């Protein structure tokens, strides 16, 4: 689908069209295209009108929650004005009128813009209302922006499908007309986004201290308890829909672990996932199995190439194809059927680190990130000001609030330079630089996040693990089972007060005091 790149060439992805602006663009498009369609058949005109109507309805639905926040803000200002008037507070009435004027002035009333809440009023009561509604608005806007882009992309794809169908049925003239409509829509979409938009400010990531456990609570080496052995691939440890699992064991609390009773399979199995009370196993040769108890399995294998990592979110499973660049299998019905999806090509088999959080799937590559709300339609976002040497694919963890990850970018003798990337939406990223002193030969990379901790590993013969409780501002070297010979892998997850560690051979856990 070539629309992926033509629509999303900007590194900042947002559909900054007001409801009025979107309607204006729509009417402008239809008026300009009326002459073009004079020779088209009535059913083609009806199909085009239906597609446009679907796009407008979908956009209105996406913007509805943001419009509600702005309406609530307007009512709050009106109530405040009424109270000031009843008290004879002239300054209060004037301040409220000024805020209302800002809100109701054209583009200021844009759901995807922050203009409605600025400038911040000097009146403390009004400023408090502005700040409260701005926070609620911004948190929701991050999700709506991505979905609004998907609405435009869906419409463009509908037009492209019409072109293909008209071509198949020999209606070449009509196909050319629809192609022109699609091309004009894309051009007008870009222009509207550029002229009607307020470019989102770069999101600053705040220090995480106080939002999780501190370094003083991180378990000492003696506190780690071995819970299971013969871990098939400890580096595949993850939490999915509340269950902690590798492809050999699973646990609901990190303390009691159950071994997987494998189905009958060919060659080998690779990874496991969990969601909606369903377990999924992937394997070589296009194998996928599902189970409700990790014992009785149903074969839903689509066949073809090897399938590796599998993640779950938004009632959707996504399983990574190993050999196809950017290829995935996606299931919306608990793994009963799978749809082949191309996220955009380019990455080779080593790019397997996807994650899900804040309602978004995130797929980091080396110099860009792909995001999707539904796992079917993906947007590619080039990363501006990417630090030299930083591998974006390291930022594949989700810590409950942010997508985050760290990697070593340079070293001079024992001084190792670390860059940490973090983002609430996979689109806007902040990078921070720090350093550690280590002689470990392995290249440091992040291996887990949760409970306020970010974990950094150097996978040498005697692995080193460093922990940050402030999102990569500073790091502390910690000791544990990973320090033993031949246990160089270590991946962490945190659930409640249980920290879980998987090496290449065992699973450990420890309770945070």
The per-residue pLDDT for range 203-253, each reduced to its tens digit, is: 233 333 334 788 889 999 999 999 998 666 555 899 999 999 988 899 999
Distances 13 to 10, 141, 150, 205, 332 between C-alpha atoms, Å:
6, 12, 10, 19, 25
| pLDDT given at position 84 | 86
Q: Per-residue confidence at 189, pLDDT binned at 50, 70, 90?
A: confident
Judge whether 25 and 195 are in contact, CB under 8 Å: no
Average pLDDT of span 429-434? 94
More confident residue, 31 or 394: 394
Torsion of CA 41, 47, 51, 57, to 10 degrees: 110
Confidence band (pLDDT; 50, 70, 90) for 111? low
Domain regions of the chain by residue span: 3-196, 215-511
pLDDT of 113? 60
In angstroms, the CA 129 to CA 121 distance is: 10
- Going by C-alpha positions, the residue among 18, 204, 202, 191 that lies closest to residue 115 is 18
Other Cβ atoms within 10 Å of 334 Cβ, number: 18
The H-assigned helical ranges of 87-123 are 90-104
User: Is pLDDT above 80 for 395?
Assistant: yes
CATH of 215-511, one of 2.40.10.170, 2.30.42.10, 2.130.10.10, 3.90.1150.10: 2.130.10.10
Q: What angle do CA 125, 130, 135 make, to 5 degrees?
A: 130
Q: How far is CA 390 from CA 44, 387, 402, 410, 508, in A?
A: 50, 6, 18, 9, 30
Of the given ranges (141-150, 237-246, 272-281, 425-434), which has the lowest mean pLDDT?
141-150
Q: What are the beta bridge partners of residue 455?
A: 448, 467
DSSP secondary structure, 46-83, as one string: HHHHHHHHHHHHHHHHHHHHHHHHHHHHHHHHHHHHHH
Distances (CA, A) of 421 to 207, 250, 441: 13, 30, 23
Which of 24-44 are b and which e, b meaning 16 or more Cβ less than 10 Å from the residue's Cβ? Answer: ebbeebeeebeeebeebeeeb
Distance CA 491, CA 447 (A): 5
Q: With bands split at pLDDT 50, 70 and 90, how would you rate the model's confidence at 109?
A: low
Percent of the chain exceeding pLDDT 90 equals 40
Helix (H) or strand (E) holding 307: strand 307-313
* pTM, 2 dp: 0.61
Q: What is the pLDDT of residues 159-175, one digit of tens each?
A: 988 888 889 888 888 88
Average pLDDT over residues 348-365: 89
Residue 329 near residue 302, CB atoms below 8 Å: yes
* CA 481/CA 234 separation, integer angstroms: 13
pLDDT mean over 62-67: 77
Residue whose C-alpha is closest to residue 51's, from 154, 187, 188, 168 = 154
Of the candidate ranges 77-86, 329-338, 422-431, the one whose mean pLDDT is the lowest: 77-86
- The answer to whether residues 116 and 102 touch, using CB atoms and an 8 Å cutoff, is yes
Q: Where does the pLDDT of residue 310 fall: very low under 50, low under 70, confident under 90, or very high at 90 and above? A: very high
The pLDDT tens digits of the residues spanning 467-512 come to 999 999 999 999 988 877 566 678 899 999 999 999 878 899 999 9
CB–CB of 508/491 below 8 Å? Answer: no
In this structure, of 52-66, 219-233, 271-285, the range with the lowest mean pLDDT score is: 52-66
Does the bond joining 119 to the residue before it have cis omega, within 30 degrees of 0?
Answer: yes
Decide which of 403 and 32 is more confident.
Answer: 403
Q: Yes or no: say if 472 and 453 are a contact pair by the CB < 8 Å rule.
A: no
**Is 354's pLDDT higher than 70?**
yes
Beta-strand pair 379-382/476-478 = unpaired
Q: Is the dihedral of CA 112, 113, 116, 120 positive or negative?
A: positive
Mean pLDDT, the chain, rounded, equals 81
Maximum Cα–Cα distance for the chain, whole Å? 82
């Amino acid at each position: 689908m070539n629309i992926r790149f033509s629509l999303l060439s900007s590194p900042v992805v947002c559909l900054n069209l007001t409801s009025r602006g979107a309607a204006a663009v729509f009417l402008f498009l239809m008026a300009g295209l009326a002459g073009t369609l004079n020779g088209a058949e009535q059913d083609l005109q009806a199909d085009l009108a239906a597609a446009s109507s679907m796009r407008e309805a979908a956009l209105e639905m996406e913007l509805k929650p943001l419009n509600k926040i702005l309406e609530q803000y307007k009512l709050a200002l009106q109530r405040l004005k009424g109270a000031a008037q009843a008290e004879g507070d002239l300054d209060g009435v004037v301040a409220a009128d000024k805020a209302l004027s800002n809100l109701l002035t054209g583009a200021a009333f844009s759901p995807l813009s922050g203009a409605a809440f600025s400038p911040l009023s000097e009146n403390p009561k009004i400023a408090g209302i502005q700040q409260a509604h701005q926070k609620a608005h911004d948190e929701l806007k991050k999700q709506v922006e991505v979905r609004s882009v998907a609405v435009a992309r869906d419409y463009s794809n509908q037009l492209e499908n019409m072109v293909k169908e008209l071509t198949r049925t020999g209606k070449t003239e009509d196909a050319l007309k629809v192609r022109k409509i699609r091309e004009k829509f894309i051009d007008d979409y870009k222009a509207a986004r550029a002229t009607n938009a307020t470019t989102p400010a770069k999101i600053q990531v705040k220090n995480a201290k106080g939002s999780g456990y501190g370094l003083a609570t991180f378990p000492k080496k003696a506190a780690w308890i071995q819970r299971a052995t013969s871990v098939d691939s400890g580096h595949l440890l993850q939490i999915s829909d509340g269950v902690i699992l590798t492809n050999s064991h699973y646990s609901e609390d990190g303390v009691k672990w159950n071994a997987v009773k494998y189905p009958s399979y060919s060659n080998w199995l690779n990874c496991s996932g969990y969601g909606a009370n369903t377990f999924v196993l992937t394997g070589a040769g296009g194998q996928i199995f599902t189970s409700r108890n990790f014992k009785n399995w149903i074969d839903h294998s689509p066949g073809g190439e090897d399938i590796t990592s599998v993640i779950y979110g938004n009632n959707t499973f996504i399983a990574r194809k190993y050999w196809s660049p950017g290829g995935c299998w996606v299931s919306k019905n608990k793994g009963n059927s799978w749809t082949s999806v191309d996220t955009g090509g380019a990455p080779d088999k080593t790019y397997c680190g996807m994650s899900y959080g804040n309602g978004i799937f995130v797929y980091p590559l080396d110099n860009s990130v792909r995001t999707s709300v539904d796992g079917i339609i993906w947007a590619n976002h080039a990363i501006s000001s990417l630090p030299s040497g930083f591998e974006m694919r390291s930022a594949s963890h989700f810590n409950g609030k942010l997508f985050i990850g760290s990697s070593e970018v340079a070293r001079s003798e024992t001084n190792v330079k670390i860059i940490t990337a973090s983002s609430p939406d996979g689109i806007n990223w902040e990078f921070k630089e720090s350093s550690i002193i280590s002689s470990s030969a392995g290249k440091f990379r992040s291996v887990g996040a949760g409970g306020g901790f970010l974990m950094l590993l150097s996978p040498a013969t005697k692995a080193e693990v460093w922990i940050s409780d402030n999102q990569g501002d500073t790091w502390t070297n910690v000791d544990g089972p990973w320090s033993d010979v031949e246990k160089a892998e270590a991946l962490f997850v945190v659930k409640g007060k249980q920290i879980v560690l998987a090496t290449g051979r065992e699973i450990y856990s420890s309770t945070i005091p």
